[in-house]
Structure 1
Amino acid sequence: MLGAALLVLLVAAALLGPFFLGDPTAQDLPNRLAAPSATHPFGTDQLGRDVLSRVLSGGRISLGLGVSVMLASLVTGSLVGLLAGLRGGWWDEVLMRVTDIFLAFPSLILAMAISAALGPSLTNVMIAVAAVSWPAYARLVRAQVLALREREFVEAARALGSSQRRVALRHLLPNTLAPLLVQGSFDVGGAILTAAGLGFIGFGAKPPTPEWGAMVSETRNFINQAPWASSAPAIAILLTVLAFNLIGDALRDIFDPRKT
């Protein structure tokens, strides 16, 4: 409940906040690095931009990016895992060895390499993070399919003349949804964190786009003079990842067969 409430609050703020706070890229150089006040509740950054407006606008970007990456990774990984588990043989060997290649590299390092090759942009960040996230879903779905494909209800479906495609989509894939939901909840927070890391080192959104990782990077040199400028986006990252992790923990408990 805490994670859901926190997530609803963050989503509402990200969707509605920018309508009331104005342009997050508008500069006010005479008021640069201004302390929090009634006019600027989170203060201003080194260019006089309102930090609160930028944090809320960045919420749209980060939340949208996290959900998009999770969906792309889930679809890609599920198809790979379903094909490997259902077909078996050389299909399984080839697809799992490709998966192992991706798993062999640290995810952040591989995402950095892909982002560097593609160039800094939000679209390329999404591609890079999705490219390192799908193997977990492939492994998860393959394991579930291997455990289910010889079960009685699957054999009954085959005996009734169901095609392999129908068996996969109607009987196997729906029974993998519970662990996929748990994995997906954790991965949204992980994708946001990875994207923020890429933004911090310059592989993310281009200025003046208000992306949380880039905001922390831009204001880190002023942390002693204006700590609010870098603390606000950092706290937003922390709260968002915490919300998704709490939801993932709750879903894991709900779907745990040992607790039913």
Structure 2
Amino acid sequence: MTVLLAAESGTGSAVWRRFRRNSGAMIGLVLLVLLVLLAVLGPLLVGSPSTQDLAARLAPPSAAHLLGTDQLGRDVLTRVLSGARISLGIGVSVMLASLLVGSAAGLVAGLLGGWWDEVIMRVTDMFLAFPGLILAMAISAALGPSLTNVMIAVALVSWPTYARLIRAQVLALREREFVEAARALGSSQSRVAFRHLLPNSLAPLLVQGSFDVGNAILTAAGLGFIGFGAQPPTPEWGAMVSETRNYIAQAPWASSAPALAILMTVLAFNLLGDGLRDVFDPRREG
């Protein structure tokens, strides 16, 4: 047991050293930590994002309003900070829902094979046959415009990626010696799946999950921009850009601030995903 713990500790240290040497990954991690802190602490330090001051509508950045105000006199910084919690919540929730559904489907397809594999993969192919944003728009339109329905729509679009990824990992691992040994010792299919196959598939899941949080935020912002997502006065970043797009020449700060927040958040998750992919690449020497 002592040797095993030492080996695991050494592996964890090697992974961290590789990650720390990747400048892009560290930038992404720092940006992500800052965004999480802003999302958690920001709304506690500012006022209500719905407070209006029509006398100060479209006011430029100043000491009173660091990022200016929008067309209703609402403080843009307050709304951006409040929107950070919403957008990060959307991204993480969608990723976790997609991960759970897709992983379950991929495990069943890869482990059981046969007609289970055929049915699950054909359903997966049906979802993948449609452009993701178009399918999410159709689902959101059918369910009705709301923040919850946007998360459902984006999750329904995202799960097939995890299903195919887990299935490929299971097919590669199920004939390995340690899996055969577990079966020979009388382990059930569920124990083989959750004790041996799924833990050895975590690395690609972490990489895909990092990318998908950013993709979910971007897709939700796009749906919010065209009116299928969060409805006013919810300070969701995509909806904020949509509300202020008609004033971009008069007050560019009102739309550029939430747009920049989307850019930085998606960039942080993409840099983190790139770094994790490099760290877990078995061809990369550490």
TM-score in same-fold range (> 0.5): yes
1:113 aligned onto 2:138? yes
Give distance in 1, aligned partners of 2:38 and 2:283: 37
Give distance in 2, aligned partners of 1:139 and 1:250: 22
- 2:98 counterpart residue number: 73
Indicate the RMSD between aligned Cα atoms, in angstroms: 0.5
> Which of the residues 143, 148, 154 maps onto 1:123?
148
Point out where structure 1 has 5 or more consecutive residues left out of the alignment.
none
- 1:39 counterpart residue number: 64
1:157 aligned onto 2:185? no
Runs of 4+ in 1 over 2 A off after TM superposition: none
CA shift for structure 1 position 10: 1.0
Give distance in 2, aligned partners of 1:39 and 1:30: 13
> Which of the residues 88, 92, 97 maps onto 2:117?
92
CA shift for structure 1 position 164: 0.8
Alignment deviations for residues 181-213 of structure 1 (CA, whole Å, 9 cap, x no partner):
000000000000000000000001111000000
> Which one is further off, 15-24 or 28-37?
15-24
Point out where structure 2 has 5 or more consecutive residues left out of the alignment.
1-25
1:3 aligned onto 2:28? yes
> Which of the residues 50, 66, 80 maps onto 1:25?
50
Amino acid at match of 1:10: L
CA shift for structure 1 position 11: 1.1
- 2:4 counterpart residue number: none
> Which of the residues 253, 266, 275 maps onto 1:228?
253
- 2:170 counterpart residue number: 145
Matched pairs, number: 260
Give distance in 1, aligned partners of 2:88 and 2:217: 7
- 1:186 counterpart residue number: 211
Alignment deviations for residues 29-69 of structure 1 (CA, whole Å, 9 cap, x no partner):
01000000001000000000000000000000000110000
Q: Could you tell me the TM-score, scaled by structure 2's length?
A: 0.90
User: What secondary structure does 1:62 align onto?
Assistant: helix
Give distance in 2, aligned partners of 1:6 and 1:66: 16
Amino acid at match of 1:226: A
